[in-house]
Each structure stands twice: as structure tokens, then as C-alpha cells.
Amino acid sequence: MYFYWGRGSCRIPDIDLLADKEPDNPLALSTPRLMAFMITNPLMPAFIMLGFTIWGGALMSSIYTPLYEEYSTGCVNHGENGTFITNNLYSLAYNWASQDGDTETFKGFDTYDIQRSEVCTQYGSNSATKENDDIATLNALIQSHFSSAKEVDTFNRCIDSENLDLYWEHACCGQEGYEACGTGAASPYDCPMNELAEPTVPYTQFSGFLTEQTCSEKIDPETEKWKFDNAIFDCEALPVCQLSCGGPNKRKMKAVTENCGCMVEWFGHSVWLKVSLSIFIYVLMNMSRVALIMGVTRLVWKKIHPGLFNYKATCDREGGLVVKYDKTVEGEDPEHEIEGRVHARVGKKFSILLKEQLDIILPKFKKKGYPQILFALLINAPWIYLLYTISIEIAYK
């Protein structure tokens, strides 16, 4: 309070008795003078600084607000999408946890692919060679069957098989597969024996060979019945190695990394907000303190003011005071009135004029104390509201 013990500390405005002064409303000035007034006004640097401060605050807010909202949605309200930090932390943690397994998996894939290629090379070429040999053998057998069938057909047309069978039965009677011989002369022919059999047995009747169904069967190599199915080893039929291991537990890892990432974000936001709010609260509380004291001093100025006031006035070259006012001071000699200006000597009449101005200034000065006190109280509302709101929204459990 010692600041207000001085006579000029209450900042009671001076009594303005200037005869030629600038209008109270700057808008009444001409355009050039208004521009000069704005540029040279001592408050102009403050306004420029305020503009840069607002611009910087808006820029910082545009960067910080999305990060804070993402943290509030993903961590505090447990949203499904998480946050930028938690998602990237999950990716890093999952890649690190699956690194050894992925290395072994890729090594196993390479080994299996090498073995699969070796098996395909080994059996693929051999099966192709074997199929070609089998096709050649089948074609040779078909040609042999065609020749045999042609010869059998010639025998059927050129040989009397029934009469030949009678000679065959008479020569081989009593042998295996033939009836016993009856009475009569012996056959002049020997029974043809199959010496390739063990023991040797007589051949069957000749007509049995000529009537064999397979010998007269027609073979068409173009039909599916006499064609080989594809017997070449099919490398594509070898199974492909499928990854059956699911890797690290994604659900558990996501929960752990989300908890860790949210704690890191909570710490960062809490430090930033603590510093920012501390500065913000410090500025507002000091503004409130100054405004409150200024408002109170306006209301109780009589108790702390020594009762001495200042005034501003205009004088001429002779040192006479020149006062411009609307009415003539009571008792003033009209001869001293020049073009609306009154030359007043220092004395009772001039003091009356000062008293009249004080009666106008002091009530206005006191009335401004009430809005200042109200402003000093209301200016605390923002930081109180922020503390209450942020303490709820930033809490991470």
C-alpha cells in the first residue's frame, strides 16, 4: 500500500483548463492527424505486442489443441483408435518383440523353399523321362498288337481251324487238357508241346488262338483309353509352407503400450499445462490485484489522498491565465473577455472555476472504481474454470 501514500499515486486526473486542447474523441481529428495520433501514441507498441502475442498464442493453440484432444479421446476416454504416440509405440514394441521369431521364420521359409526346389528338380526330370519311355513302349506294343491282329485275321481267312483242331485232338489225345484216346489207328503227327512251361504241356487247340478276343480287338491310339495320364511330377502340388504362429499377443501388447504411451503423454501434457497455467494464473492474479487496488483506491481516495490537486492551464506572454469555458465567471469584468477567452487573475474567482472542475472530475473518478473492482473479480474466473476443467479432463487412470 505504500505505493499509494504519495500525493500523485492515486492517479486523480489533472484539472484541464487548457484554452486550446485536442478533442477528447480522436475520431473528430482529420484523417492525417488521426493517422499521426495512432502511430505516435505510446499505446501503439503495446497494441502491436498484443497482436503478436495473440497470433503466437493462436499458432501454439492450433498445434497443441489437436494433440491434447487426441490424448483426451484416446487415453482419458479410452477410444479405440488410440493416439499418435501409442500407435507408433505399439508398432515399435511389436516389431521388437517379433524380431527373433520373424528371423527364424524367414530362415525356415528359405530352407523349405530350397528343399522344395531340390525335390522338384530331382523327381520332375526323372518322371518326364519315365513318361516318355512308357509312351514309346506303349506305341511299340500297339504296333505289335496291330501286326498280330493282322496275322490272326489272315489265319482266320486262310486256315481251316476246325479240321486242324481234329488233327490236334487226335495227336494230343490223353495229354493234359485233352480227352483220352479212343480205339483206332494212332495219329501220324506228334503233339505240339510248350517247352517254355515247367513241366512241358501241350498247346491248346489252334482255334483257341484264332478266336482269342484280345487278338481281334481294335486299338485306336487317339482315344482316351489308350492314352497316358500326365505322370510328370507336379511341382505345384507340393504344399507351400504356411505361417501358423500368431506372433506376440497383440491384445496384451496393445494394452501395455497404450498404458505406457498414455502415461508419457500425461506427463508431457501435465508439465506443459502446469507451466502454462502457472504463468497464466500469475499474470491474471497480478492483473486482478492491480485492478482491485486501483478500484479500491478510487472508492477511498479521500482517506489516502493529501487533498492537493494539479491542474493544467494556458497563459499568454504577459503571464495572464487564459481559460476557455462556456459561462462567464460570476463578478468577472467583461473587459477582460477576449474572443471567448477570459483572462483571470489568481484569486477567488479562479479557485471557484477549479472547484467546479473538481466537482465534475472527482465523482467520475470514484465511479470508475466499481467496474474496476468487478473486472478484478471476474478476471479470476478463467483460471479457476481451467483448473477445474483440466484437472478432470487430463486425469489418466
pLDDT tier for residue 288 given thresholds of 50, 70 and 90: very high
* Same structural domain, 77 and 117: no
Query: Cα(267)–Cα(261) distance, rounded to whole angstroms?
Result: 10
* Same structural domain, 180 and 313: no
CB atoms within 10 A of CB 387: 13
Residue 172 placed within a domain: yes
* Same structural domain, 85 and 124: no
DSSP codes of every residue in 196-248: TSSS-EEPPPHHHHHT-HHHH----TTSGGGS----S--GGGSPPP------S
Question: Looking at the predicted structure, is the pLDDT value of residue 331 above 60?
Answer: no
Q: Residue 258: which domain range?
A: 2-22+64-95+250-393
Listed range (119-133, 263-277, 328-342, 356-370) with the worst mean pLDDT:
328-342
Residue 244 placed within a domain: no
Listed range (46-60, 97-111, 134-148, 338-352) with the worst mean pLDDT:
338-352
* Same structural domain, 75 and 175: no
Query: Cα(175)–Cα(220) distance, rounded to whole angstroms?
Result: 40
Express each pLDDT in 161-219 by its tens digit.
777 777 777 778 877 777 777 766 677 777 888 788 888 888 777 777 777 777 777 77
* Same structural domain, 72 and 117: no
Question: Looking at the predicted structure, is the pLDDT value of residue 370 above 80?
Answer: yes
Res 183: pLDDT = 65
Question: Looking at the predicted structure, is the pLDDT value of residue 378 above 90?
Answer: yes
Q: Which amino acid is at 200?
A: T
Residue 29 placed within a domain: no
Residue 52 placed within a domain: no
Tell me the average pLDDT across 328-333. 46
Domain boundary among 190, 212, 237: 237
Express each pLDDT in 295-329 by its tens digit.
888 888 888 777 788 888 888 887 777 776 544 44
Rounded to two decimals, the pTM is: 0.49
What's the domain count of the chain? 2
Res 328: pLDDT = 44
Question: Looking at the predicted structure, is the pLDDT value of residue 376 above 90?
Answer: yes
Question: Looking at the predicted structure, is the pLDDT value of residue 341 above 50?
Answer: no
* Same structural domain, 282 and 389: yes
The single-letter DSSP state of residue 73 is I
Res 347: pLDDT = 46
Three-state SS letters, 242-253: CCCCCCCCHHHH
Res 345: pLDDT = 41
Which cell numbers hold the place of 103?
A: 528371423
Domain boundary among 182, 216, 237: 237
For a pLDDT cut of 70, what percent of the chain falls above it?
Answer: 84
Residue 58 placed within a domain: no
Q: Calculate ∠ Cα 220-223-225, nearest 5°.
A: 100
Tell me the average pLDDT across 258-281. 86
* Same structural domain, 262 and 212: no
Residue 317 placed within a domain: yes
- 32 sits in the region (left: phi over 0; alpha: psi -120 to 50; else beta) called alpha
Res 285: pLDDT = 92
* Same structural domain, 209 and 256: no
Tell me the average pLDDT across 38-44. 76
* Same structural domain, 232 and 289: no
Give residues with Cβ within 8 angstroms of 101, minimum separation 6.
245, 247, 248
Q: At what angle do helices 250-299 and 369-378 cross, to 10 degrees?
A: 170
* Same structural domain, 386 and 267: yes
299 against 229, higher pLDDT: 299
* Same structural domain, 227 and 353: no
Domain boundary among 202, 237, 272: 237
CB atoms within 10 A of CB 89: 20
* Same structural domain, 146 and 222: yes
Give residues with Cβ within 8 angstroms of 105, minimum separation 6.
243, 245
Res 324: pLDDT = 62
Number of alpha carbons in the 13 Å side-chain half-sphere of residue 99: 6
Res 2: pLDDT = 52
Residue 44 placed within a domain: no
Mean pLDDT of the chain: 78
Any long-range contacts for 280-289 (C-beta under 8 Å, 24+ apart)?
Answer: 280/382, 280/383, 280/386, 281/383, 281/387, 284/379, 284/380, 284/382, 284/383, 285/380, 285/383, 287/376, 287/379, 288/376, 288/377, 288/379, 288/380, 289/376
Res 123: pLDDT = 79
Question: Looking at the predicted structure, is the pLDDT value of residue 355 above 90?
Answer: no
Res 203: pLDDT = 79
Residue 215 placed within a domain: yes
pLDDT tier for residue 338 given thresholds of 50, 70 and 90: very low
Torsion, CA 67, CA 70, CA 71, CA 74, rounded to 10? -160
Q: Which residues pair with 202 in a beta bridge?
A: 193
Integer angstrom CA distances of residue 78 from 263, 333, 350, 392: 13, 88, 77, 15
Q: Which amino acid is at 139?
A: N
